[in-house]
Structures are given as C-alpha cells and as structure tokens.
Amino acid sequence: MTEEEKIMAGVLFCPADPALKEIKRRTHNLNLEYNRTCEDETELRDRLIHEMVGEIGEGSFLQGPVWFHYGKHTRIGKHLFANFNFTVQDDAPVTIGNHCNFGPNVTIVTPLHPMLAGERNAMRTANGEIKRLCYAKPVRIGSNCWFGAGVTVCPGVTIGDNCVIGAGSVVTRDIPAGCFAAGVPCRVIRELGEADSMRRLPDILADNQVIGQESDGGNPV
C-alpha cells in the first residue's frame, strides 16, 4: 500500500513520505494564496478553493484565513459559511453536509499519534526502517449544523444533522442528530425542538417572522 492508502485504511502511516509531503506542500501554498485574496475577488477565491479541497458545493463561503492540511481529503456540501481561521487537518477524510455554519477558530482534526513517547518518536516499519508514524480517523458532520466559536472536533467523530455545538467545546465522541451539545469534553445538553424557536423570543424576533409560521388573521399559513 502507498502511505495515502494506509491513511484511508486506518493503519499507521509515515507523514514524512515524499508523496504525502508534496500533497501538503501544494495545499499549504494554496492556503496562502487564498488568504492573500480580498473578499471581492470572488472568481479567484472560487478557483483556489476548488483547487484546494476535494469537493465543495455551490453557495459556500469561507471568510478566511483558512488552513487545510491535505485539502483533497475534505468534501463540503452546499451553502457552508466558515468564519475566520477555519482549520481542517484532513489526513483522513472530512465530510461536511449542506447549510453548515462555523464560527471563528473552528478546528477539525483527524490524525492521532501513539500515546507512549517511545512509540511516538520512532517505530519499525514492515521493511525494517525506523520512522515516525501516526494514524488518522475520519470526521463526518451532517447538514444544518451550527458550531460556535472555538469548537474543536477530534478524530473519528460523527455529528448528526441539525446540531448546535456550543462555543469552546471539544467534541471527542459522536453527537446524535437534532441536539444541542457543549462542554469539554462535549456532551449532549438536550434535544432541540419547538422550545428553541425564535417565536419564544418575541423581543428579539421583533417584526420578523419564522418561515412557515407567518400570521394571516391570527392563523398560521
């Protein structure tokens, strides 16, 4: 297996492999190009992000700066919004659904290192070479999720559709769909439902209306 194939198989690989280093070098350079652009350079930004990531849907906007590691291992759905300093260390695949919103300084990581220092510093490969090795686990994020500022998503985590992750959370385990979760480590606080509707906050809702709940003579339409 190539080192990239080892990543996808979930086994130890060498991040210093020349082929992997070339992927990362190219992506890191694209990061820098993207981060030097102005917001109104929309065509250039669109070209750069499509060169950088494996897939990205229409209507997605990344404020920048952005930091992708491999880039090609990330797939993003439609209408993503990512605020400042969106970081994706996508050694293993990262999949993000549609209509997701990420606050500033959100980080998604996939690589893992041996816990014991000696193993972390050096291991013997199948052909007898001594190298530093690590492994990685994929991250999957569903559609219609909102992540507050400073959230970190750890390797191997799956987050279901329609979730809200509170600011500063460190997500170390799966979060089921339709939940508000927060904390270090992140845990489910409650299921989201009608009690969370903006209709419960009329002072903030002001003269706006929740779609599907517009009034017509006092009756929903």
pTM reported for the whole predicted model = 0.93
Quote the tokens at residue 94: 């990262």
pLDDT under 70: residue ranges of the chain:
213-221
What's the confidence (pLDDT) of residue 138?
98
Task: Please say if 113 is a catalytic residue.
Answer: yes
What's the confidence (pLDDT) of residue 212?
74
The domain tally of the chain equals 1
Write the secondary structure of the chain as one string of H (helix), E (strand) and C (coil).
CCHHHHHHHCCCECCCCHHHHHHHHHHHHHHHHHHCCCCCCHHHHHHHHHHHCCEECCCCEECCCEEECCCCCEEECCCCEECCCEEEECCCCEEECCCCEECCCCEEECEECCCCHHHHHCEECCCCCEECCEEECCEEECCCCEECCCCEECCCCEECCCCEECCCCEECCCECCCEEEECCCCEEEEECCHHHCHHHCHHHHCCCCCCCCCEECCEEC
What's the confidence (pLDDT) of residue 219?
37
Looking at beta carbons, which pairs linking 165-170 to residues 24 or more positions away fall under 8 Å?
167/103
What's the confidence (pLDDT) of residue 46?
97
Q: Is the dihedral of CA 28, 33, 37, 40 positive or negative?
A: negative
Q: What are phi and psi of 199, to 5 degrees?
A: -65, -20
Which one from 28, 73, 79, 113 is the annotated catalytic residue? 113
Q: Which residues contact 209 (CB under 8 A, 6 or more apart)?
A: 215
Residue 182 burial (10 A CB sphere; 0-12, 13-18, 19+): middle
Structural domain boundaries enclosing 80: 3-113+120-220
Residue 68: give its domain's CATH number: 2.160.10.10
